[in-house]
Amino acid sequence: MELDRNYPQPLNLRFDITIFIQRSIQLDVKEENVHFYDYSQSKILDRDPVTLNYHQEFTFGKEVISPYFKFKIVLNSTFDPKKDINRSLYFQLKDYDNLVSEFKGFTIERINKESTILQIKITGGNVDKLADFLNALTREYIEKGLEKKNLVSIRTIDLLTMN
């Protein structure tokens, strides 16, 4: 999902999605007392809550625009027509603080004192989202480690070439 950060978006609203055929999606929203968030300023907007009732079919990559939200849903590399067609999915837009709090409860420990292998644990409700988070965290950790090793190598070479 590609969010338009310059457009006020509903906060904590559940967007239900059903993928019908490879390019067709149904979006359903029904909720009372919906508040809005300004992602460009990272703040909840001071406006009266509204009731949203939205039912629309559209295609991947096409902008979904209503008076209350604006975004695109795009296919990514994990899309599998055999698995995902007629599958019900959903997403929610959360404010920064609530999103961060979802991922605070993870731990990183060495398997044992002599090991260079780490064990990362996290608990939560959406296993796929947690796996994506842990995979991204691991990629960042490995990338930072490689950057550090490269910097040490460059400094060592500089030191050796000075003599």
- Whether 109 contacts 128, CB under 8 Å: no
User: pLDDT tens across 43-87, in order?
Assistant: 999 999 999 999 999 888 899 999 999 999 888 888 887 888 888
- Whether 9 contacts 69, CB under 8 Å: yes
- Across the range 12-31, mean pLDDT stands at 88
Name, in order, each residue with C-beta under 8 angstroms of 61's C-beta and a sequence gap of 6 or more: 72, 73, 74, 75
Higher pLDDT: 52 or 20? It is: 52
Which residue is listed with tokens 């044992």? 112
**Rounded Cα gap, residues 83 and 17, in angstroms:** 15
